[in-house]
Amino acid sequence: MCKIYKILYAAIPLKKWKSALIRRHFERCPRCAEEFNYKDHVVRAFFKPEWIQGASSVWPQVRAQIILRKNEPEALRPAISPPRLRLPIRALAAAISAFFILGTIGFFLLRPHGRKLSGPESSLSTKPAAAVPRVQVISVELGGKRAKAYIYQTPTASFIWIAPSQETGGLR
């Protein structure tokens, strides 16, 4: 019989109904009650670790912070939020989800093609893909001194050889 209740408990989706089941059977049936208070003393030990017993008072730290914060004009949120306004929940939910859906559609339709750029990068990405350089060297230093960059591109990669300014081409 208890097994049927257990199966029922697993099958029921709503917490309210599960709660009713607990009150009607699991808390009343002596066998089930014993089962769920199994090794209660052992379980309790897990929830009360030793270090808490021996922990020193946190008052000094709390006191220090209270003094510190009192000197700061900090606006803290209330610890428990004030009573909420009574809003039409359904209407609000519908409005919010509509906003999200429209927002997503709008985002994909209207999203800008790149952010505002400045400097050397401004020539990038406003042009069609074909004209965008695959790589650009903004600056290069070798051993702390300005150096030269020699770019060689293949379909698979861009190779940049960096040589000291005095030299003429280095490896290439």
Partner 1 sequence: MKKTFVITFFLGVLSLAPVWAFAQGNYIIESRFFRGARNDTPSRLGAPVFITSFSDPLFIPSRPPLLTAGDEPNPASAMKLELANIYKLKTVDDVSSGQILWDGKKTRLSEAILLDGNLYPIHLFPRTLDDRTISLRIEVRRDTGRDEGEKILNSEITLSFDDPVVLGFPVNGHSYFLSLEVKKTSLAEVGQVAIEPREGELNWRQARAILPQPTFTVTPVYPEKCKEENIQGWVALYVYTNVQGKVLRVRVLGSSHPALAKSAVEAIRQWRYQPVMWKGKPIYSEFYMTVDFRLRDLSPSAEGTEEDAGKK
Partner 2 sequence: MGPTDDGQTIARCLAGDREAFEMIVNKYQSGVLTLAWSVLGNRAEAEDAAQEAFIRAYVNLQNFDRAKDFKNWLYAIVHKRCLDRIRKLKTEKKYRSRMAEAAAPVMSGFKTEPGADESAVLSPLLKKLTVKERLAASLSMNEGYTAAEIAGILHCAESTARVHLFNAKRKLRKGLERNPHVQNL
Candidates 1, 11, 42, 131: give the one binding partner 2 (CB under 8 A): 42
**Using CB under 8 A as the criterion, what x/- string covers residues 84-123 for binding partner 2?**
----------------------------------------
Q: Give the nearest distance from C-beta 77 to partner 1 in angstroms.
A: 23
Among 20, 33, 121, 165, binds partner 1 (CB under 8 A): 121
Q: Give the span between the Cα atoms of 150 and 163, in whole angstroms.
A: 8
**Span of 1-9, 27-35, 53-61, 160-168 interacting with partner 1 by CB under 8 A:** 160-168
> Distance between the two ends of the chain, CA-based, in angstroms?
86
For residue 135, give the nearest of 156, 160, 116 by alpha carbon.
160
The answer to the question of residue 36 lying near partner 2 (CB under 8 A) is: yes
- CA angle, 28 then 32 then 37, to 5°: 100
One-letter amino acid of 76: L
Q: How far is CA 103 from the centre of its chain?
A: 21
Min separation Cβ 75 and partner 2, Å: 11
